[in-house]
Amino acid sequence: MPLVRVDIKKNPDPTFAKRIGEVIYAALRSEINVPEHDNFQVLAEHDDQHFVYDPQYLGIQRSDGIVFIQLTISEGRTVEMKQRLFQTIARNLNQQLTVRQEDVFINLVEVKKENWSFGNGIAQYVT
């Protein structure tokens, strides 16, 4: 665990999505104790017609630089850990890649440990 999905508008820098993923992985390691090498990500870029967002929902002013991040993780983290994770991702994307913090949209999905198979058709976390 986790499985990270990142969706952005097409970026002229071909390394941009991968660098976003690196920032997220570092935050997962520091804030919710993700083990080394537990790095699984799907990074996707979209054209204008396949990338929809509300520019003002909840009073947050979003731009075309919005980054959608979906994190699927195992249950068990505290609310405080999740809040720190969100803050760290937003701050570090801003500081390292100049992504506006208003443009960092994160959705965290928690699943039971038995819902993972990392290969070979085996639920490795089932005890």
List the catalytic residues.
2
Radius of gyration of the chain (CA): 15
User: Rounded to an integer, what distance in angstroms lies between the CA atom of residue 45 and that of residue 18?
Assistant: 11
Q: Are 11 and 17 in contact (CB under 8 A)?
A: yes
Give the largest CA-CA distance in the chain.
46
Give me 125's structure tokens. 């976390």
Q: Are 33 and 77 in contact (CB under 8 A)?
A: no
Closest CA to 84 of 108, 63, 62: 108
The secondary structure of residue 3, as a DSSP letter, is E
